[in-house]
Amino acid sequence: MIIDKLENVKQYSFKYEGIYKAFEFLRHTDLINLGEGKHDIDNDDLFALVNTSNTTEIAGRYPEAHKKYIDVQYIVSGEELFGYAPYNNQKIQKEYFEARDIFFCFAETTFVKLEKCMFAIVFPGDLHLPGIKFKVISKVKKIVVKVKI
């Protein structure tokens, strides 16, 4: 997992070309006015999911992971706590759902605060728990660019 600000992305080198394309999309799109829902960039190989929602309490939430896609999660507005744990054969909470490329595990996570203009890159095998309230429940507009591996 990588966490940083969009302005620093040029410092990184990535194995997957799709990550570069994801950042090009984020840097050259009017993200404030980008509508909710799915936005195709390169068919199923690269697409963006735009969502505005309130952060939540941690109670009843479990870390998720993916098998086919890298997430580039970008905060357009608001702030959230973002949990992380490496996948290490933790007990499965909810089995893999292929249509959404997601499964959930029981795991303790370490949290970092993400705020406007910050991103997190989450690779397959990275358990993550996004959307947790920081001090108070707040509205967050987030874009998740899905990069097929």
pLDDT at position 125, please? 86
Which strand (E) or helix (H) includes residue 22?
A: helix 17-27
Span 93-113, pLDDT tens digits: 999 999 999 999 999 999 999
Span 36-59, pLDDT tens digits: 999 999 999 999 999 999 999 999
Q: Hey, what CATH topology would domain 2-148 get? A: Jelly Rolls (2.60.120)
> Is this prediction's pTM over 0.85?
yes
* Domain range annotation of the chain: 2-148
| In contact, 4 and 119? CB cutoff 8 Å | yes
Q: Work out the burial of residue 64: count CB atoms within 10 Å of its CB; fewer than 13 is exposed, 13-18 middle, 19 or more buried.
A: buried
- Give residue 58's region: left, alpha or beta (phi > 0; psi -120 to 50): alpha
